[in-house]
């Protein structure tokens, strides 16, 4: 064990994922395939998502203006051309998204991180205009701030710098980024935990670390809702400081997302949608982990999720009308958690006037047929 400390650990001391792995290798290795771990990573060469994306692609905004994805000097760039003349080139530096639906990218400009104008949309296997970007030109100046990093990284430090007599701007500290959602983001700082168990190797009960079986249902759902509770709430303080067991209301206002007047979008507010589900309301124990296994990658495994449904609904009987309409499928998810169109995110394909819908499964479990 090569965990090193300059002083006695506190409840804020970070151990690092590599240290966690030395005692929890099997869990750590399995978690590397989980979408949470893949939600951001550095792009350091020409490899984009295991080379599954086309490296030489063109997105035409019109007959004159185009953006190409090109390899240059061992890296990948998005390059804008006006009538064949290069106007701007920016390198792929950070990837955001697990890749199940889409991936978008950031580029460093000094200590500011900017979103690149093209994203990859897996549904159509094509480069598309990044969500919310103008349809008639490439936009290279949208800032990716620390709020974005709070749900796409485990930690990113920032600094506020003077940008004129009466103006300041936020800069990110490049070397501070901890990519993906790592062990301590969900279990809390592990320095004190590691220190104790190094000094007491005979101890078999985990100390100074969050054990989810000891948390209340609200504490469990709060931990997930830091990133899955919506993005339209007032931020009271950075969720990088959140530890399992904390009250999310101390970090967000309207943190439950249960405002009846607010329409919950299928993107980003899974916690709020689950809270409106009859399954959740009538259960005293159901939480996110009732269905999800965070240390594994079960994406797309509808059989596994169906088994979790059946564990509570083994005696369910479908109505004669449902059976008559042949709605019943081999899994519960397609009917009771169908894919819905996000009102927050959509994509524009080159040469098309219609917007491409971005679909995600609703977490408001219900009867939709």
For residue 53, what pLDDT is reported?
64
For residue 56, what pLDDT is reported?
63
Average of pLDDT values for 14-25?
94
pLDDT in tens, 332-349: 898 899 999 998 888 888
Query: Of 131-145, 235-249, 321-335, 347-361, which range is least confident?
Result: 321-335
Which DSSP helix (H) or strand (E) runs through 14? none
Query: Of 3-7, 21-25, 161-165, which range is least confident?
Result: 3-7
Mean pLDDT of the chain: 88
Q: What is the pTM of this model?
A: 0.88
What three-state secondary structure class fits 313?
Answer: coil
Q: Has residue 329 got a pLDDT over 80?
A: no
* CA dist., res. 54 & res. 42, Å (int): 18
Q: Has residue 298 got a pLDDT over 80?
A: no
* CA dist., res. 321 & res. 336, Å (int): 16
* Residue whose tokens read 């997930």: 224
Contacts of 326 by beta carbon, 8 Å cutoff, 6+ apart: none
Residue 328 pLDDT class (50, 70, 90 cuts):
low
Average of pLDDT values for 288-294?
89
Q: What residue segments make up the domains of the chain, in order of their start?
A: 1-30+183-209, 38-179, 210-361
pLDDT in tens, 26-42: 999 999 888 898 899 99
Q: Is the model more confident about 24 or about 323?
A: 24
pLDDT in tens, 155-205: 999 998 877 777 788 899 999 999 999 999 999 999 999 999 999 999 989
* CA dist., res. 275 & res. 367, Å (int): 16
Average of pLDDT values for 323-337?
78
* CA dist., res. 308 & res. 304, Å (int): 7
Q: Read off φ and ψ for residue 195, nearest 5 degrees.
A: -55, -45
* CA dist., res. 263 & res. 260, Å (int): 8
Contact 363, 338 (CB under 8 A): no
Q: Has residue 258 got a pLDDT over 70?
A: no
Percent of the chain with pLDDT over 70: 92
pLDDT in tens, 105-159: 999 999 899 999 999 988 888 899 998 898 888 999 999 999 999 999 999 999 9
């Amino acid at each position: 064990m090569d965990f090193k400390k300059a002083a006695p650990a506190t409840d804020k001391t970070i151990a690092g994922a590599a240290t966690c792995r030395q005692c929890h290798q099997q869990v750590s290795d399995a978690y590397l395939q989980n979408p949470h771990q893949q939600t951001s990573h550095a792009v350091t060469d020409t490899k984009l998502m295991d080379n599954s994306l086309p490296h030489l692609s063109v997105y035409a905004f019109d007959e004159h203006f185009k953006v190409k994805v090109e390899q240059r000097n061992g890296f990948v760039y998005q390059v804008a051309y006006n009538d064949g003349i290069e106007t701007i080139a920016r390198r792929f530096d950070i990837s955001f998204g697990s890749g199940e639906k889409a991936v978008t990218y950031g580029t460093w400009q000094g200590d500011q991180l900017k979103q690149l104008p093209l994203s990859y949309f897996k549904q159509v296997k094509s480069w598309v205009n990044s969500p919310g970007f103008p349809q008639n030109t490439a936009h290279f100046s949208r800032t990716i701030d620390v709020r974005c990093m709070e749900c796409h990284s485990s930690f990113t430090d920032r600094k506020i710098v003077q940008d004129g007599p009466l103006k300041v701007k936020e800069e990110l500290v490049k070397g501070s980024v901890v990519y993906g959602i790592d062990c301590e983001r969900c279990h809390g700082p592990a320095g004190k935990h590691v220190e104790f168990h190094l000094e007491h190797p005979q101890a078999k009960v985990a100390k100074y670390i969050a054990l989810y079986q000891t948390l209340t249902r609200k504490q469990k759902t709060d931990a997930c809702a830091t990133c899955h509770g919506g993005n339209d709430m007032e931020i009271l303080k950075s969720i990088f400081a959140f530890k399992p067991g904390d009250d999310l209301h101390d970090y967000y206002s309207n943190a439950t997302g249960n405002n009846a007047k607010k329409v919950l979008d299928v993107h980003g507010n899974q916690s709020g949608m689950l809270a409106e589900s009859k399954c959740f309301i009538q259960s005293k124990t159901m939480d996110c982990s009732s269905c999800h296994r965070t240390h594994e990658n079960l994406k797309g495994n509808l059989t596994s999720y169906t088994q979790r449904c059946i564990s509570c609904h083994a005696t369910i009987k479908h109505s004669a009308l449902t059976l008559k309409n042949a709605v019943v499928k081999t899994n519960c998810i397609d009917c009771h958690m169908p894919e819905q169109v996000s009102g927050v995110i959509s994509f524009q394909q080159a040469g098309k006037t219609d917007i491409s819908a971005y679909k995600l499964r609703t977490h408001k479990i219900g009867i939709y047929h």
